[in-house]
Amino acid sequence: MKAYFMRHGQTNFNCLGLCNDNPSDDVHLTATGKRQAQLVARKLKSKNIQRIITSELPRTHETAVIVNQYHQVAIESHPGINDIRSGFNGQKVSDYQQCIVEDPLHLKVNNGESLLDHKTRVIDFLFWLQQQPETSLLVVSHEETLRVIAAYFQQLDDETMIQLRFDNCDYLNFNI
């Protein structure tokens, strides 16, 4: 199976530097985010994408709808690729990062999940994904999720994984 993994387009919370892991918050693509998704949609236009899977957060679905204009396939959500539950929903990303700086892999704050908890959830999703019947899929998710996915397929250690950075609408592809 050919799998494309993409980060959502820029959001209002990205511009404000805020965390978001609650699907009911009013977090949406900005005009820039929509343009970013359009650019990737054109790049993926010729790919034989048979299904799109997003996280449960609306920004990933909004991004998927834009890409799907060229594919007209089913879009469904999966909780396994939701953004990390930081415990800082609606608060500054910099405050969250400051709280976990001493041990970014293991620390959990405000009843959130650690990066290693998040990694386990995403890898469980990858095992599920490998069982799907399609030969080509697009997965639209989040930066933390893409870190786990890239590290998994490139066999990177956890310390390297947490150094990876992905901009809005960056995408990767791997053969599963």
Give the C-alpha separation, 174 to 176, whole Å: 6
* Amino acid occupying residue 165: R
* pLDDT value of residue 116: 97
* pLDDT value of residue 131: 96
What string of pLDDT tens digits covers the 176 residues of the chain?
999 999 999 999 999 999 999 999 999 999 999 999 999 999 999 999 999 999 999 999 999 999 999 999 999 999 999 999 999 999 999 999 999 999 999 999 999 999 999 999 999 999 999 999 999 999 999 999 999 999 999 999 999 999 999 999 999 999 99
Tokens read off for 68 = 């799907």
Handedness of CA 41, 173, 6, 93 (dihedral sign): negative
* pLDDT value of residue 109: 94
> What's the whole-model pTM score?
0.96
Helical axes 143-154 vs 115-130, angle rounded to 10°:
70
DSSP structure string for 30-97: -HHHHHHHHHHHHHHTTS---EEEE-SSHHHHHHHHHHGGGT---EEE-GGGSPP--S-BTSBHHHHH
* pLDDT value of residue 142: 98
* pLDDT value of residue 37: 98
What are the residue ranges spanned by the domains of the chain?
2-175
2-175 placed in CATH 3.40.50.1240? yes
* pLDDT value of residue 120: 98
Instruction: Encode pLDDT of 52-62 as tens digits.
Output: 999 999 999 99
* pLDDT value of residue 168: 98
